[in-house]
């Protein structure tokens, strides 16, 4: 098989998906929201707290794949309200250093559990093997 799944017991698993899939030196991560893995609830009603928790969850998934934020080459952000862009962007600036990864931000009608933000990343990490 040319791909394999990466899953973390430290993150919630809510459906038929993997936290990440590694293939040919790239790792594609499923979207994360600002869920506290212990309580299973969103961390707060504001974009800043949800974005910070989302990146914490992404950090857990990255570590499981032997990656770090410096390995991220693409970020896809989904916002339920584009007025939250500035708050999300401020948190993202705290997480990444130059050269920043490429990013796409999309406004959507709704996100799981009423989240304000969902973020997925792609990272480069050489030829991983299971």
pLDDT per position as a tens digit, 49-92:
999 999 999 999 999 999 999 999 999 999 999 999 999 999 99
pTM for the model: 0.93
SS3 per-residue string spanning the chain? CCCEEECCCCCCCCCCCCCEEEECCEEEECCECCECCCCCCECCCCHHHHHHHHHHHHHHHHHHCCCCHHHEEEEEEEECCHHHHHHHHHHHHHHCCCCCCEEEEEECCCCHHHCCEEEEEEEECCCCCC
Q: What's the confidence (pLDDT) of residue 42?
A: 96
pLDDT per position as a tens digit, 109-124:
999 999 999 999 999 9
Q: What's the confidence (pLDDT) of residue 2?
A: 84
The mean pLDDT of the chain is 93
Residue 128, pLDDT > 90, answer no
CATH of domain 4-8+17-124: 3.30.1330.40
């Amino acid at each position: 098989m040319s791909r394999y799944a990466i899953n973390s017991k430290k993150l919630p698993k809510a459906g038929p998906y993997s936290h990440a899939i590694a293939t040919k030196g790239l790792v594609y991560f499923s979207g994360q929201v600002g869920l506290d893995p212990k309580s299973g609830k969103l961390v707060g009603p504001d974009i800043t707290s949800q974005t910070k928790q989302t990146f914490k969850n992404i950090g857990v998934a990255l570590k499981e794949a032997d990656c770090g934020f410096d390995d991220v080459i693409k970020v896809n952000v989904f916002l339920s309200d584009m007025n939250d862009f500035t708050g999300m962007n401020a948190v993202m600036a705290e997480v990444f250093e130059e050269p920043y990864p490429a990013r796409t931000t999309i406004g959507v009608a709704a996100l799981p559990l009423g989240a304000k933000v969902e973020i997925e990343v792609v990272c480069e990490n050489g030829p991983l093997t299971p």
